[in-house]
Amino acid sequence: MSAMTHVQTTLNGEAVEFLCEPRQSLLEVLRETLGLTGAKEGCNNGNCGACNVLIDGALVNACLVLAVEVQGRTLTTIEGIAPPGGLHPLQRQFLEHAALQCGFCTPGFIVAAKALLDRTPRPSELEVRQWLAGNLCRCTGYDRIVRAVLAAAEEAQT
């Protein structure tokens, strides 16, 4: 095993440090080292969005980021989306709209949708579909996911 690098970040609002090898992806470190398994591995090459996380608010595939790259950065994962003691409007609307079957894609969609609503509070259906085009869902046909995001945008406004 090669030398470990020490990395400090802010993860879901808390200061976190970890040791990793340079070749380890952020996804691997989140899941295997930090025990945050909400980000999923569906493809490990940027094709599915199941591993989505936010780095300084930017939406990225954690499988295409080296863990060493997040030194000094602020990370948000699905585990950090909900306000204390509650659910984020997106989480609530995903449940209300039955926007998940197996739920494996769900963390990635919710993280992606949060990044969208942070920038575009009232997106159109087309904007939602464009923003989520890097997230695969094999179960739902996307209909309910898109509706849930639109409803969450509405909920957040009222």
Partner 1 sequence: MTTADKPTEFKVLGSTPLRQDGVDKVTGRAQYGADIRLPGMLYGAVLRSPHAHARIKAIDTRAAEAYPGVRAVVTAQDLPELESKVADLGEGSMNLRYQSNNILARDKVLYFGHAVAAVAAVNAHAAEAAAALIQVEYEVLPPVLDVRQAMRPDAPILLAELRTDELGQKGEQPTNVAAHYLDEAGDLEQGFREADVVVEREFTTAMVHQGYIEPQNATALVTADGQVTIWCSTQGAFGVREQTAEILRLPVSKIRVIPMEIGGGFGGKIGVYLEPLAVLLSRKSGHRPVKLTMSRRDVLAATGPTSGSYIKVKMGANRAGQITAAQATLIYEAGAYPGSPVGSAMGVIFAPYRIPNARVEGYDVVVNKPRTAAYRAPGGTNAAFASETVVDELAEKLGLDPLAFRLQNGVQEGDRRVNGVAYKRIGLLEVLRAAQSSAHYQTPLAGPNRGRGVAAGYWGNYGGKSSASASVNADGTVSLQEGSVDIGGSRTALAMQLAETLGLPIEAVRAAVADTDAVGETEGTYGSRTTFATGWAVYEVGQQLKTQLCERAARLWNVAAEQVQYAAGVFTSGEQRLTFAELAAQLDRLGGPVVASAAVQPKTWGPGFAAHIVDVEVDPETGKVQVLRYTAVQDAGKAVYPNYVASQMQGGAAQGIGWALNEEYVYDAQGRLLNANWLDYRMLVTLDLPMLETVIVEVPNPGHPFGVRGVGEVPIVPPAAAVANALYRAVGVRMAELPMAPGRLVAALQARQG
Partner 2 sequence: MRAFEYHSPDSLEQTLTLLAGPGQAQPLAGGTDLLPQLREGRRPADRVIDLKRVPELNALTYDPARGLWVGAAVACYRLCHDPAVIQHYPGVVDGAHVIGAVQIQFRATVGGNLCNASPAADSIPALIVHTAVCHIAGPAGARTLPVEAFCVGPGRTALAPGEILVAVSVPPPAPHFGAHYLRFIPRNEMDIAVVGAAAAVTLAADGRSFVAARVALGAVAATPLLVPEAGAYLAGRPVTAETIAEAARLAQAAARPIDDVRGTAAFRRHLSAVLTRRALERAVERARA
Q: Which residues bind partner 1 (CB under 8 A)?
A: 1, 21, 23, 28, 31-32, 35-45, 47-48, 50, 77-79, 81-82, 87, 90-91, 94-98, 100-107, 110, 128-130, 132-147
Alpha-carbon gap, residue 98 to 92, rounded angstroms: 10
- The residue among 21 and 155 lying less far from partner 2, judged by its C-beta, is 21
Alpha-carbon gap, residue 152 to 158, rounded angstroms: 10
Count CB neighbours of 147 within 10 A: 18
- The residue among 18 and 142 lying less far from partner 1, judged by its C-beta, is 142
At residue 48, the 3 state secondary structure works out as coil
- Report what 143 binds from partner 2, partner 1, ligand FES, none; CB cut-off 5-8 Å by kind: partner 1
Nearest CA-CA partner of 39 in 77, 66, 74: 77
> Segment near ligand FES (CB under 6 A), from 41-49, 73-81, 87-95, 123-131?
41-49
